A and B are shown apart, each in its own frame.
Chain A
Amino acid sequence: MSDLKSIECDLCIIGSGLAGMAAALFAAARGLSVVQMGHTGEIIFASGLLDLLGVHPVSEKRLWSDPWAAIDALVRDIPHHPYARLKKEDIKAAFDEILAFLEETGLTYHRNIDRNTGVLTSLGTVKTTYAVPHTMWKGVRALKEKSDCLIVDIRGLKGFSGRQIVAAFENEWSHLRSARISFPDSDHLNEMYTEHMANALLLPYNREKLAGVVQPLVKESSIVGLPAILGLYQTHEVISHLEELVGIPIFEIPTIPPSVPGLRLKEAFERGLRLKGVQYFSLTRALQVRQTAAGHFETQIGRDVVEHIVDSRGVILASGRFIGGGLHADRTHIRETILDSRGHLINQAGLAIDDAFRPLADSGGPAFESLFAAGSILAHNDWKRVKCGAGLAIATAFGAVNAFVRLCR
């Protein structure tokens, strides 16, 4: 191990889900040098929709159209929710910064600043969310206005039935139809995967073939919905080309993860962060973190054995919950996987933090002066039910990075 040279930086970010990516962006944008690592990351399980807050209280299943009013209600009732440690202006600023960055990388998002938006899902439900990829945005309006709409599904794509979506709106959306197509040149394939189709559509040739199959089905419809396969990247180009060929607007419907919109987010962050100088180790875990005599952190990273040592002034834990591997449960205990070797008996699983997003020690004070945490690893968040996953990741990353910057000054 002694021959391993350490990589020095201001901030080491553990985790490559949305919280880790957001933290890396905020840190780089504030002039900090950043090393980031993570395995595949929860981000590929992302739906592509960026929630802010949809439901509160969970027990009443109350849906909110104004997410900001919902946040007021949430932090009043659950004072330990991570949102309670942020000003609303900060959450807004964090979203603005993330969406501007994604726009720069070519992944445009749309939203109504003060309102949640309903998006049609492959199950036939309407999902309440906040920021929506441009690929799905036209579908939002079609759903609202109950436009003459054709849903096209694909033979061999499991878990996506146009008939199911049409049946879901049987009594309220009379101009909704469905049709099934074979994806061009897939006769030799029985099972179709969204990622492969999205990749194929990067070629104009395949877009022409797809449009050739879809166009005759359009008839009186004024808009077409397809599963989320419209280009792995370059979605503006892919969709406008298809729209030109088919003659009417086209939108995507999110599919079950791991899905193409999740892959697009991962790719956009990785590419954009590289340009901002973030040093990123993919498929790499933090194996051990220890504090040095100088008050720095020494993080050993690698796939299985130590490959590099990162020497940083601060660390942000954005390693997720159980899926991401940030938390682990055995039969009796839940523990944080990197720094906590003992485990705790806790039921609202996650890390308790102070106002500067620093995990707490038993004493009630921060465990380390410059160890921070962000994203779903934080206690009390319940993102899946209150629908705040992306907002939580983005806003707490913003809070953690800013707290670190204040500390450095």
Chain B
Amino acid sequence: MLIIGGGATGTGIARDLALRGVRCILVEQGDINAGTSGANHGLLHSGARYVSSDQGSAIECREEGALLKQMAPQCIDDAGGLFVAVEGDDEKYVAEFPHLCSECGIPVKELDLKEARELEPVLSDKLIAAYAVNDASIDPFKLSLENIAQAQELGCTLLRFTKVIGFEKKNNKIQATHLQDTVTGEKIIIDANQVVNASGAWAGEVAALAGVKIDIICSKGSLLVTHNRITDRVVNRLRASANADILVPGGTVSILGTTSIRIENLNQVYPTVEEVDAMVGEAVKMIPALENARFIRAYAGVRPLVGSRTASDDRNVSRSFALIDHTDDGLENFVSISGGKLTTYRLMAEKTADLVCGHLGVSKPCLTRTEPLPETQPGKWTQPGLAPKLWMQKHEPEDILLCECEMVPKSVVDSIVDAIRKQDGQPDLKAISLRSRIGKGACQGTFCGVRVTAYLFDQGELTFDQCLAGLREFLGKRWHGQYPTLWDKQLVQSELLEALYCGLFGLEL
């Protein structure tokens, strides 16, 4: 079995199949969660967001959200959520909301406005309605890293930085899949019985290589990260989905989003100044304190929406997923899964695994509804606030901090390097930053970039060319996130970063 795509869905399928005893190879063109799974809100929906536009998705979210809280509590901050409307919002929508929630079986509690402002004092004094729901936040990096870790323990092979470049077809089947290592350029061929295309926003491109057409709309969503956590709970604007409606807590920060902009080029997905301005301008109506909050970076992801290109607003396209058996297109061993949401990733994996197990004649049932996701080392360090907590508890002064903003000590870097080595990967700065909070704090890599690089040298992990290339790539990635948020303190920070890396080291040359 070959799985294409190392996001939430692909890693979820790998784990599901591994638990059924099916041998898999998972290939990913970048690193784990390099696509949409690593660039979303980290919101575990109660379902209430979709009660008006898409009741099917609302019910799926409700069921899966409740199940994941049981099965993967280590990835979830069960913070609860609020839906609030402010003066000027659509009162008809507000009035219908509790009934629609009840219709979908979604628990909802009306709050009086004083109570809501006691729960979240930063809420606007122009509130007109507030409801409490069961929203939560989920760490998507930890989730995928834990899924793949268990799959690997059960015999799954992971090939990161490996991109599909073509398929060989014969007798209505994919005979072989041609791949290329994106770092070394080396080509490999995988001969698999079944091929699952779980490449998310890239599903259309991958299917096209197999000569099959999938209609996928790509909708960019940009998000903004604050320096501090602004609210305890998830706060949603109570209205039909629009820009900057949701503020999700993520450990020590809050994440504001999103936008929805249709795009064609999947490889140039960056947040823009205009989006940031529009989001802050809108969100202050719900939470006025965001006007003067420090935003440290922005990022953007692509929602793969399977459906009609004629929809007037991409937000109205179903958020449910599409599982496509390409037998009808003349390929008996090729399946595509796309669309959907992070909240429903497990269900998507289950349905996909059911389908391919049917093809293979494997009758073992899905276990992910009942088997909790084990907690492993590699997935541990993505959680904001965890590294400092453990560092303080252990109090080993020789374990010096390499990243001071997020308080990441060298022992954490060691454990991540170790885990990457076990996956036959290259433990460079970028891979380490993906698996930890390094570079994600206020300094955005100014000091930790230099320090982690020097530390890796001391451990003999890098060559010099890898080091400079890694540092440039790491800073380049941080720059895309920083540049739309360059005002006030973050601009000062960025100027310091530039003075160091350009002014002193000439790294840009």
Interface residues of A (CB under 8 A from B): 45, 47, 49, 54-55, 61, 63, 121-128, 156, 158-161, 163-164, 167-168, 170, 180, 190-191, 254, 256-257, 321-323, 328-332, 383-385, 387, 389
A126 to B464, CA, bound (A): 14
Are A45 and B499 within 8 A (Cβ)? yes
The answer to whether the Cβ of B280 comes within 8 Å of any Cβ in the partner chain is yes
B397 CB contacts on chain A under 8 angstroms: 190
Interface-centre pick from B400, B447, B463, B487 (highest chain A CB count, 10 A): B487
Q: List 24 A-B contacts (CB under 8 A).
A: A45-B499, A54-B506, A55-B509, A121-B504, A123-B505, A127-B505, A128-B506, A158-B455, A159-B447, A161-B455, A163-B460, A167-B462, A167-B463, A170-B464, A256-B450, A257-B499, A257-B500, A321-B495, A323-B496, A329-B486, A329-B491, A331-B277, A384-B499, A387-B503
The answer to whether the Cβ of B458 comes within 8 Å of any Cβ in the partner chain is yes
Q: A158-B402, A322-B491, A384-B498 are in contact. Are A47 and B457 (CB under 8 A)?
A: no
Among residues of A, the one whose C-beta sits closest to the C-beta of B458 is A161
The answer to whether the Cβ of B502 comes within 8 Å of any Cβ in the partner chain is yes
B90 CB, min distance to chain A CBs, angstroms: 27
A278 to B315, CA, bound (A): 65
Residue from B447, B487, B503, B504 within 8 A of A329 (CB atoms): B487
Residue from A160, A323, A330, A385 within 8 A of B488 (CB atoms): A330
B502 CB contacts on chain A under 8 angstroms: 384-385
Q: Which 10 pairs, one residue from A and one from B, show the smallest C-beta to C-beta distance?
A: A161-B454, A164-B457, A167-B464, A384-B503, A384-B502, A161-B457, A159-B450, A159-B451, A329-B487, A158-B451
A143 CB, min distance to chain B CBs, angstroms: 14
A30 to B495, CA, bound (A): 34
- The 0/1 profile, CB within 8 Å of A marked 1, for residues 460-487 of chain B is 1011100110000000000000000011
Residue from A163, A191, A256, A322 within 8 A of B492 (CB atoms): A322
B55 CB, min distance to chain A CBs, angstroms: 38
A156 CB contacts on chain B under 8 angstroms: 400
Are B505 and A125 within 8 A (Cβ)? yes
A156 to B398, CA, bound (A): 9
Are B492 and A323 within 8 A (Cβ)? yes
Are B487 and A160 within 8 A (Cβ)? no
Residue from A126, A332, A389 within 8 A of B503 (CB atoms): A389
A211 to B500, CA, bound (A): 31
A167 to B456, CA, bound (A): 12
- The 0/1 profile, CB within 8 Å of A marked 1, for residues 390-411 of chain B is 0000000111101000000000
The answer to whether the Cβ of B219 comes within 8 Å of any Cβ in the partner chain is no
A125 CB, min distance to chain B CBs, angstroms: 5
Are A63 and B398 within 8 A (Cβ)? no
17 other contacts beyond A124-B464, A164-B464, A190-B398, with CB at 8 A cut-off? A45-B499, A123-B453, A124-B467, A127-B505, A158-B402, A159-B450, A170-B463, A180-B458, A190-B400, A256-B447, A256-B504, A322-B495, A329-B486, A331-B277, A383-B503, A384-B498, A389-B503
Are A163 and B457 within 8 A (Cβ)? yes
A383 to B504, CA, bound (A): 11
A123 to B447, CA, bound (A): 12
Q: A170-B464, A256-B500 are in contact. Are A164 and B505 (CB under 8 A)?
A: no
Are B400 and A191 within 8 A (Cβ)? yes
The answer to whether the Cβ of B186 comes within 8 Å of any Cβ in the partner chain is no
The answer to whether the Cβ of B508 comes within 8 Å of any Cβ in the partner chain is yes
Residue from A63, A158, A161 within 8 A of B400 (CB atoms): A158
Are A167 and B457 within 8 A (Cβ)? yes
A206 to B397, CA, bound (A): 24
The answer to whether the Cβ of B360 comes within 8 Å of any Cβ in the partner chain is no
Are A160 and B504 within 8 A (Cβ)? no
Are B454 and A160 within 8 A (Cβ)? yes
Q: A323-B492, A329-B486, A330-B488 are in contact. Are A164 and B454 (CB under 8 A)?
A: yes
A208 to B345, CA, bound (A): 65
A123 to B505, CA, bound (A): 7
A350 to B322, CA, bound (A): 53
A48 to B86, CA, bound (A): 55
The answer to whether the Cβ of B165 comes within 8 Å of any Cβ in the partner chain is no
The answer to whether the Cβ of B507 comes within 8 Å of any Cβ in the partner chain is yes
Could you tell me which residues of chain B, from 92 to 111, have a CB within 8 Å of some CB in chain A?
Answer: none
B509 CB contacts on chain A under 8 angstroms: 55, 61, 63
A121 CB contacts on chain B under 8 angstroms: 504-506
A387 to B507, CA, bound (A): 12
B453 CB contacts on chain A under 8 angstroms: 123, 161, 164
Are B506 and A387 within 8 A (Cβ)? yes
Interface-centre pick from A55, A168, A256 (highest chain B CB count, 10 A): A256
A156 to B453, CA, bound (A): 15
Are A127 and B504 within 8 A (Cβ)? yes
A257 to B446, CA, bound (A): 11
Among residues of A, the one whose C-beta sits closest to the C-beta of B467 is A164
B504 CB contacts on chain A under 8 angstroms: 47, 49, 121, 127, 254, 256-257
A254 to B505, CA, bound (A): 10
A59 CB, min distance to chain B CBs, angstroms: 11
B486 CB contacts on chain A under 8 angstroms: 329
A389 CB contacts on chain B under 8 angstroms: 503
A55 CB, min distance to chain B CBs, angstroms: 7
- The 0/1 profile, CB within 8 Å of A marked 1, for residues 431-443 of chain B is 0000000000000
- The 0/1 profile, CB within 8 Å of A marked 1, for residues 225-244 of chain B is 00000000000000000000
B402 CB, min distance to chain A CBs, angstroms: 7
A345 CB, min distance to chain B CBs, angstroms: 13
A190 CB contacts on chain B under 8 angstroms: 397-400
A34 CB, min distance to chain B CBs, angstroms: 27
Among residues of A, the one whose C-beta sits closest to the C-beta of B397 is A190
- The 0/1 profile, CB within 8 Å of A marked 1, for residues 379-423 of chain B is 000000000000000000111101000000000000000000000
Among residues of A, the one whose C-beta sits closest to the C-beta of B410 is A158
Interface-centre pick from A54, A191, A331 (highest chain B CB count, 10 A): A331
A400 to B158, CA, bound (A): 64
A55 CB contacts on chain B under 8 angstroms: 506, 509
A367 to B295, CA, bound (A): 34
Residue from B280, B492, B503 within 8 A of A47 (CB atoms): B503
B498 CB contacts on chain A under 8 angstroms: 384
A54 to B492, CA, bound (A): 24
A160 to B486, CA, bound (A): 29
A121 to B496, CA, bound (A): 17
A257 to B443, CA, bound (A): 14
B390 CB, min distance to chain A CBs, angstroms: 17
Q: A191-B400, A256-B447, A256-B500 are in contact. Are A323 and B506 (CB under 8 A)?
A: no
A49 CB contacts on chain B under 8 angstroms: 504
Are B507 and A125 within 8 A (Cβ)? yes
B451 CB contacts on chain A under 8 angstroms: 158-159
A272 to B325, CA, bound (A): 80
B499 CB contacts on chain A under 8 angstroms: 45, 257, 323, 384
B289 CB, min distance to chain A CBs, angstroms: 14
Are A163 and B458 within 8 A (Cβ)? yes
B505 CB contacts on chain A under 8 angstroms: 121, 123, 125, 127
Interface-centre pick from A47, A125, A384 (highest chain B CB count, 10 A): A384
A54 to B505, CA, bound (A): 12
A323 to B503, CA, bound (A): 14
A128 CB contacts on chain B under 8 angstroms: 506
B280 CB contacts on chain A under 8 angstroms: 331
Among residues of B, the one whose C-beta sits closest to the C-beta of A388 is B503
A389 to B280, CA, bound (A): 35
Are A123 and B491 within 8 A (Cβ)? no
A376 CB, min distance to chain B CBs, angstroms: 9
Interface-centre pick from A61, A161, A168 (highest chain B CB count, 10 A): A161
A257 CB contacts on chain B under 8 angstroms: 499-500, 504
Are A125 and B496 within 8 A (Cβ)? no
Among residues of A, the one whose C-beta sits closest to the C-beta of B446 is A256
B456 CB, min distance to chain A CBs, angstroms: 9
A305 to B333, CA, bound (A): 76
B470 CB, min distance to chain A CBs, angstroms: 12
A124 CB contacts on chain B under 8 angstroms: 464, 467-468
